[in-house]
Amino acid sequence: MIRYILGRLISVALTFTVVSVIVFLMMHAVPGGPFDGNDMPVNDAVKAKLNASLGLDRPLHIQYFKYMWGVLHFDFGIPFQSPGETVLQLLARAWPPSLILGGSGVLIGAPLGILLGIAAALRRNTWVDYLASAFATLGLTVPVFVISMMLIMVFAVWLGWLPASGWDRPYSWILPIAAYAAIPMATYARYTRSAMLDVLNKPFVTVLRAKGISERRIIFQHVLRNAALPMITVFLPMFIGTATGSIFVEAMFRVPGLGAYFVSSINLRDYPLEMALILMITFMFCIAYLISDIVYALVNPRIRVGGRQ
């Protein structure tokens, strides 16, 4: 097991490095620089000086190594679009809203989705199943900004129960969390339903019935335990993906989160921020997958405990 973890950590480092190189090159492959926009046109001489001041005239590989050296010291540079703070300070400011809303969305949506999936599996091919599956499909196919819009229309405009936007009071968090919860809920509903149906068809479930075990115990003790194994691996990566913010939800609800920066940093050629965001996500996903695999190995007796005796 130790050997396995060490091996995976090495591959995380490798992945990280490879991604950083690829992203850096792609970033600079996009034509234009941070000062080419039309809102504040500058002449070429000024542009050259500005670029030089940011080190953008140096050869690419020098720029790369300088930046990565900084990364190793947790110095991600200064965002071009917000020179008054460091990238780290920007992240510290902008991430918590995304984390709170997105994270809550997953933490609420996943269990709801699991319940929906269980209901669908147990009442297979009845109206419960069709309704739950339809709900789940909608959650995945309807774009999240449409969901956000509908939530605003219904709860803020028509019913007037909740505010349409804002970040100040927890009250205003309810709708964006609901919007964030849609995809996790739908994903988990589908996964749970098919995982459970898979297990329900296995021979050992018939044997359990033949032993006279109550249906309730069969479902909650045996079927869920077996169905949960594949679902464990899905959770952490999904959490990371949602907790880093959605540009659409945050735009619709005017939440000052991280989502917007993903796109703006590309548009504005904000290289330090762009790199930092992508490296952060890459690292978190790698660790998430590693943890998932370890947990799976611990929970599955076939891997945890050896073979034949």
User: What angle, rounded to 10 degrees, do the helices at 271-299 and 259-267 form?
Assistant: 140
Q: State the nearest-atom distance from the C-beta of 269 to another protein, in Å.
A: 48
Q: State the nearest-atom distance from the C-beta of 204 to another protein, in Å.
A: 5
Count CB-CB contacts under 10 A for residue 7. Answer: 10
Strand extents, DSSP E, the chain:
none
Which CB, 227 or 236, lies closer to another protein? 227
Q: Establish if 309 lies at the interface with another protein (CB under 8 A).
A: yes
Helix, strand and coil in the chain, % to nearest 5: 75, 0, 25
Nearest to 27 by CA among 273, 244, 257: 273
Alpha-carbon span 116 to 36, nearest angstrom: 51
- Residue 258 backbone phi and psi in degrees, to 5: -80, -20
Q: Establish if 233 lies at the interface with another protein (CB under 8 A).
A: no
- Stretch binding another protein (CB under 8 A), from 10-18, 45-53, 253-261, 299-307: 299-307
Instruction: Pull the structure tokens for residue 222.
Output: 């045996």
Q: Which of 104, 226, 244, 246 binds another protein (CB under 8 A)?
A: 226
Alpha-carbon span 97 to 104, nearest angstrom: 11
Nearest to 114 by CA among 198, 175, 182, 187: 187
Spatial contact of 300 and 229, defined as CB atoms under 8 Å apart: yes
Q: Which of 19, 112, 144, 213 binds another protein (CB under 8 A)?
A: 213
Residues 30-69, interacting with another protein (CB under 8 A): none
Which CB, 137 or 206, lies closer to another protein? 206
Residue type at 85 in one-letter notation: E
Q: Establish if 308 lies at the interface with another protein (CB under 8 A).
A: yes
Q: Establish if 127 lies at the interface with another protein (CB under 8 A).
A: no
- Stretch binding another protein (CB under 8 A), from 26-34, 52-60, 220-228, 242-250: 220-228
Spatial contact of 191 and 198, defined as CB atoms under 8 Å apart: no
Which CB, 65 or 204, lies closer to another protein? 204
Q: How many of the chain's residues bind another protein (CB under 8 A)?
A: 28
- Longest pairwise C-alpha distance within the chain: 86
Q: State the nearest-atom distance from the C-beta of 163 to another protein, in Å.
A: 46
Q: State the nearest-atom distance from the C-beta of 141 to another protein, in Å.
A: 29
- Stretch binding another protein (CB under 8 A), from 93-101, 138-146, 215-223, 235-243: 215-223
Which CB, 229 or 266, lies closer to another protein? 229
Alpha-carbon span 178 to 109, nearest angstrom: 8
Which CB, 9 or 26, lies closer to another protein? 9
Residues 182-211, interacting with another protein (CB under 8 A): 202-204, 206-211
Instruction: Pull the structure tokens for residue 153.
Output: 């229309």
**Residues of the shown chain interacting with another protein in the complex, contacts defined by CB under 8 A:** 2-3, 202-204, 206-215, 217, 222, 225-226, 229, 300-302, 305-309
